[in-house]
Amino acid sequence: MSAILVIEQLLNGLQSGIMLFLMAAGLTLVFGVMGLINLAHGSLYMVGAFAAAAASAATGSFFLGLVAALIGAAAAGAIIELTVLRRLYARDHLDQVLATFALILIFSEGTRWVFGSFPLFLDIPDLLSGPVTLPGGIQYPLYRLTLILIGLAVAAGLFWLIARTRVGIRIRAGENDREMIAALGVDIDRLYTFVFALGAALAGLAGALVGAIQSVQVGMGEPVLILAFVVIVIGGIGSIKGALIGALLVGLTDTLGSIFLPQLFRLFMDPAAASQIGASLASMAIYVLMAAVLIWKPTGLFGAKA
Amino acid sequence: MKFKSLALSCAIAALAAPAMAEVKVGMITTLSGGGAGLGIDVRDGFMLAIEQSGRDDIEVVIEDDQRKPDVAVQLADKMVQSEKVDVLTGIIWSNLAMAVVPSVTAQGKFYLSPNAGPSQLAGRGCHQNYFNVAWQNDNLHEGAGAHANAKGYSKTFILAPNYPAGKDALTGYKRFYEGDLTGELYTKLGQTDYAAEIAQIRASGADSVFFFLPGGMGISFLKQFADSGIDLPVVGPAFSFDQGILQAVGDAALGVANTSQWSKDLDNPANAAFVASFEQEYGRLPSLYASQGFDTANLLISAIDKADVSDADGFREALRAAEFDSTRGEFKFGPNHHPIQNIYVREVIREGDVLTNKVLGAALEARGDAYAADCKM
């Protein structure tokens, strides 16, 4: 177990955490402002990845693909907000879960209908491919470093938007008392559509960025959606800061757990059994983390008081 | 009232009788969701063979199992009880096969597996009405182990998802591989980020990597491995290199060795005709799953030619004889009704602007499986 390996794993954890944040930010905003549980958030991640794959295949440019992902996911988000979700704000959570689950199925089969059943190709641009050598002789993929930087930049932009702009004030006001800001003359319908499209665009961006090093296929959003829910529960529902801290915690726990738990068991078990038990425990690690946080702080790290 | 409905159902039965096919086949396969590509290939290969035979006495009922065991079980019940099928086929995934196959064979139906080959159904749980036309699950991994020996690899790093087929894969590899292991990892099923595993491979000092990560997992792993700058030979079973997903992996797959019982360039007339007609019919190259569906249908047709399906013993003998032109060339069944066949090593190459596989040679010849001895039929 060398120091290089540990640092590399820390970077990996940071990278997967920051991508989770892009997913979780939209989810937590939508839940905080509109009180809506949106299971179809993973579908928007998929829409982003497919839009990027289609656009970069057509134009040959990964960066145009990213633009397409942002626009495509935001448009898909705005459309489902205007046509379906708007009717659900006043309903209870069970109705929302049912309707957004139906949206998952519609998006999945719709995507399959348009793009076929086989995974699409989306590769990282040549400019960002290959490893770079970091101080200390660590070889690390340039693309993953770029993901960390993009994620941090988006996080900073989001904090600025929420804390320093008029829209941000309205979003925060909407979280606290939606009747009151409607009474003060804010067009709440437009605000909701904007927040939803913003969340969708972030999910689409994450889908496109991650899709380039993973597989662009139908159903790719659902595993990420589950992790994103864990993140916002840990961070406290509605809190952007909580989403960031929660995402980093989940990313680091997941990555470090999957390497160090099997190593730990290897100290007193035979290697095959140790890697099996270690792998099983590692996949539980984030849920154990979630349970521990909830015992300590039932509304999450930065959640509003219950 | 009772009499009336009885009369009505008799009338319907009489009306339906002339149109009824002699053999009714129930196909349960995965046609929606993330794993749909495999089921669609099996279905298309199967239906191509039925169509080419020009027969109208075979009726195929196709249903989508959505990759869910409970759905597959319901569909199987429906097919056996209300559709009255004679033969079932189509299941892709081992966990679904385990849920369906034992119950339908116990009800006297035939089951022809075009893909899944769990060890339980090859050994103690074998059944006289169960035929596997693809492979026993361990086979391609055994071929990879033999290939590693031939290449002289002695420090391999192996990884597979933490579920039954993943454990079978590493067991199969280790059954033939003679060198040392520098690492053995079980990843999460459905995992898409392999940064942590790749870092461990880099630190392990391995001289080669064997992985079993079917479908999207393999796409993710290969792209990330190629981008990591680690320059080690990679070996895997064909499931991460089939025609359906190679284009999505891209150049990261070029030159990778993978093991398969079939390849589109296997040199025999049945295969050449199959590849050409499949491409013409569906506008894409066939995958190994499509070849398995095609072979399954041709096996069935060869048995129907020889025996009536209502004569179970005669029909079983006809299936066991396996007298059809397989796309794999030589094909015969072992004592547990699993194939005895060559496992080939292929290499990913670029042909024009598509990625595809080229056969390098046989890794294992006339390989049966490790569980046949446990099968008491």
pLDDT at A269: 82
Cβ neighbours of B117 (radius 10 Å) = 24
What average pLDDT does the structure give for chain A?
90
Site of tokens 């290449």: B151
Q: Do B220 and A214 touch (CB under 8 A)?
A: yes
Q: Do residues B97 and B153 both lie within one domain? A: no
Assess if residue B1 is contained within a domain.
no
- Interface with chain B: mutation pick from A62, A129, A143, A213, highest number of B CBs within 10 Å: A213
Distance CA A109, CA A12 (A): 33
- My answer on whether B185 and B250 are in the same domain is yes
Of B135, B114, B111, which is closest to residue B26 (Cα–Cα)? B111
| A interface test, pick of B157, B219, B282 with most A CB neighbours within 10 Å | B219
On whether both B90 and B77 belong to a single domain, the answer is yes
- Mean pLDDT of all residues in A245-254: 94
Rounded to the nearest angstrom, the minimum Cα separation between B226 and chain A is: 8
- Min Cα–Cα distance to chain B from A9, Å: 6
What was the pLDDT predicted at B15?
46
| Residues spanned by the domain of B328 | 6-135+266-333
Residue A240: enclosing H or E segment and its boundaries? helix A240-266
Domain of A61 in residue numbering reads as 13-218
The rounded distance, in Å, linking the Cα atoms of B296 and B322 is 10
The residue of chain B with its CA nearest to that of A220 is: B34
Radius of gyration in angstroms for the set of CA atoms belonging to chain B, rounded to a whole number: 21
Residue B174: inside a domain: yes
What per-residue confidence (pLDDT) applies to A1?
57
Do the chains contact at B228 and A283, CB–CB below 8 Å? no
Strands B180-187 and B58-64: unpaired
DSSP calls for B267-331: -SHHHHHHHHHHHHHHSS---HHHHHHHHHHHHHHHHHHHS-TTSHHHHHHHHHHT-S-BTTBS-
CA-based nearest residue in chain B for residue A104: B33
| pLDDT at site B21 | 54
The residue count of chain A comes to 306
Cα gap B117→A24, rounded to integer Å: 40
Residues B152 and B128 in one domain: no
Query: A58 in a domain, yes or no?
Result: yes
B113, B253: one domain: no
- Same-domain pairing of B13 and B127: yes
Residue B39 within any structural domain of the chain? yes
B237 and B294 part of one domain: no
Number of domains making up chain B: 2
pLDDT at position B159 is 94
Digitized pLDDT (tens) for each residue of chain B, 377 residues in all: 444 554 445 444 444 444 445 899 999 999 987 678 899 999 999 999 999 999 989 999 999 998 899 999 999 999 999 999 999 999 999 889 999 999 999 999 999 999 989 989 999 999 999 999 999 999 999 999 999 999 999 999 999 988 878 888 999 999 999 999 998 888 888 888 898 899 889 989 999 999 999 878 888 999 999 888 899 999 999 998 988 889 888 888 999 999 999 999 999 999 999 999 999 999 999 999 999 999 999 999 999 999 999 999 999 999 999 999 999 998 999 999 999 999 999 999 999 889 999 999 999 999 999 999 999 88
Predicted pLDDT at B66: 87
* Predicted structure pTM score: 0.85
So what's the pLDDT on residue A230? 95
Give A99 to chain B, closest Cα distance, Å: 19
Are the beta carbons of B192 and A215 separated by less than 8 Å? yes
Residue of B204, B224, B98 whose CA lies nearest to B158: B204
Q: Look at residue B370 and give its three-state secondary structure.
A: coil
Q: Are B357 and B221 in the same domain?
A: yes
| CATH code of residue B168 | 3.40.50.2300
pLDDT in tens, A107-145: 999 998 999 878 888 888 888 988 888 888 888 999 999
Question: In Å, how far is A157's CA from the nearest CA of chain B?
Answer: 26
Same structural domain, B253 and B309: no
Q: How far is the CA of B82 from the CAs of A128, B12, B20, B31, B247, in angstroms?
A: 58, 14, 14, 22, 41
Domain assignment present for residue A6? The answer is: no
With 90 as the cut, is the pLDDT of residue A211 above it? yes
Share of chain A above pLDDT 90, in %: 56
- Spell out which residues of chain B touch residue A253, defining contact as CB-CB under 8 Å: none
Query: Best of B64, B162, B201 to disrupt the A interface by mutation (most A CBs within 10 Å)?
Result: B162
Contact between residue B29 and residue B64 where contact means Cβ atoms under 8 Å apart? yes
Residue B338 lies in a domain: no
B217 in any annotated domain: yes
- For residue A202, being part of any structural domain is answered with yes
Report angle CA A8, A10, A15 to the nearest 5 degrees: 95
CA distance A291 to chain B (A): 20
How confident is the model at residue A278, as a pLDDT? 83
Contact state of A220 with B216 under an 8 Å Cβ cutoff: yes
Contacts of B224 in chain A (CB under 8 A): 141, 213-214
Q: How many domains does chain A have?
A: 1
- For residue B216, the chain A residues in CB contact (below 8 A) are 119, 214-215, 217, 220
Show the tokens assigned to A99.
């309707």
In a domain, A244, yes or no: no
Name the percent of chain A in helix, strand, coil, to the closest 5: 75, 5, 20
